[in-house]
Structure 1
């Protein structure tokens, strides 16, 4: 039974909520262990189409638990960094699309968790940042690597060196966030996007994620070959036949993930 994470599914959409509101959903070992176990369940759930990840209360996650880190020695800190980075990588590699729904603060480990998702939707009062240098450390859950891939090397350096916190509008301008909505509409808009994705052919969406992720790690010629591979795999599915037949018959497609 999870203590620090709430989770439920509806019509193929999973909603995972970090639930330590009294400490702004600060990330500690216990929360990460629960997340690790839940991600395994999510990966094995063939009925799931999209995952929404958000936080309870006034924050998405305001960083890793400082009290826990303050007493670590270098070996313990390395283990902690590997543990958190490995779980965020597991989140990133889920076969289904993942959407971070950032309500309030996404700082430090919280920002790193959001960046491990495919898309980031922000409320208008959301705040992002990697403030670790002000605590005498670097980002430890892959923030130095994911931030530069989202906003570019020089801007990532500026944000990490200064520890500056940015608002939702600047996050949009930099490419860190994908959409910003009024706070009272954020969850509704996120669910609407999730349902839109869930309504498409599940295999096609998963294959598209594979093609994008694999292609991003290589040169353009190899990336095009990767796309060709995943494109061809779609034609082995019943959903491809259904999707195209429905188009020709001018009706709504009924996909069955086959």
Structure 2
């Protein structure tokens, strides 16, 4: 019997649109959803028609996190495998080589927030809520939240969220730096597409290496990170896009990048 589709894939205007589709349980994450999400991300990576990726959720939530019903039945080994699959998903998001944006219209909690934390960018509607309530069920943010949240908002603020399980609204999430901006719900997708297209208008190689320098640099010393940036500057200087961009600047016109 064919597995039910719980992650949809489509390309619109150069953007791969990935939608979580378990609205009856607030897009809670079980092995099927995470497996399909990983496959969709790998498809987007290979898809030459997709220059960027947007993640959304169907129904009232972006994702309420791990499927508690599944966790209550699973063995400790199965729970660990679910977490490892989720870590593979978040790792793929971070290393996809294309911009990935989470458009968050509703709750992003626990594992759902951890998926969003792995994205380059996060836009939220005013009604969205964010939190790591894992401690409230005797669990740990095991999909990467203990790693990424402190890097996004700082150790102390992350500790408060992770240790209390308290939820915050979209405005506070924006103030803390957890989301890039808050936009009207009826403009969320349009604003997300506009931001991705603004990035897609730049050199794909420069965008990819800039993100890689940011991501890798966070685990390096300041000197090592600066040297990495210098190395990548030298690397892009060998590209056709660098020649196109510098000449266009001198000619006072918009560059038309080739992606090589």
The TM tier, using the shorter chain, reads: over 0.9
Q: CA RMSD in A?
A: 1.5
1:164 and 2:136 are equivalent in the alignment: no
Tell me the residue number matched to 2:204. 202
1: distance between equivalents of 2:151 and 2:217? 14
Kindly indicate whether the alpha-carbon contact (under 8 Å) linking 2:18 and 2:40 is maintained by their aligned counterparts in 1. no
Tell me the residue number matched to 1:222. 224
Tell me the residue number matched to 1:84. 86
1: distance between equivalents of 2:141 and 2:214? 26
Tell me how far 1:143 sits from its aligned partner. Answer: 1.3
2: distance between equivalents of 1:130 and 1:197? 30
- List aligned pairs for 1:33-112, cutoff 5 A: 33-112=35-114
Kindly indicate whether the alpha-carbon contact (under 8 Å) linking 1:2 and 1:34 is maintained by their aligned counterparts in 2. no
Tell me how far 1:187 sits from its aligned partner. Answer: 0.9
Kindly indicate whether the alpha-carbon contact (under 8 Å) linking 2:60 and 2:105 is maintained by their aligned counterparts in 1. yes
2: distance between equivalents of 1:41 and 1:252? 31
Tell me the residue number matched to 1:139. 141
Tell me the SS of whatever aligns to 1:236: coil
Tell me the residue number matched to 2:239. 237
2: distance between equivalents of 1:21 and 1:217? 36
Query: Please, which runs of 5 or more residues in structure 1 have no aligned partner?
Result: none
Greater shift after overlay, 74-83 or 16-25?
74-83
CA-to-partner distance for each residue in 1:37-86, whole Å, 9 max, x for gaps? Answer: 12222222344322111111211111111110002232222222112112
Tell me the SS of whatever aligns to 2:108: strand
Tell me the SS of whatever aligns to 2:73: coil
1:154 and 2:156 are equivalent in the alignment: yes
2: distance between equivalents of 1:53 and 1:199? 20
Kindly indicate whether the alpha-carbon contact (under 8 Å) linking 1:13 and 1:198 is maintained by their aligned counterparts in 2. no
Tell me the residue number matched to 1:8. 10
TM-score, reference length from structure 1: 0.95
Tell me how far 1:33 sits from its aligned partner. Answer: 0.8
Tell me the residue number matched to 1:188. 190
Tell me the SS of whatever aligns to 1:251: coil
Tell me the residue number matched to 1:118. 120
Tell me the residue number matched to 1:253. 255
After superposing on structure 2, the runs of 4+ consecutive aligned residues of structure 1 that deviate more than 4 Å are: none
Kindly indicate whether the alpha-carbon contact (under 8 Å) linking 1:13 and 1:51 is maintained by their aligned counterparts in 2. yes
Tell me how far 1:2 sits from its aligned partner. Answer: 7.0
CA-to-partner distance for each residue in 1:95-154, whole Å, 9 max, x for gaps? Answer: 112111111110111101000101111111110011111112111211122111112222
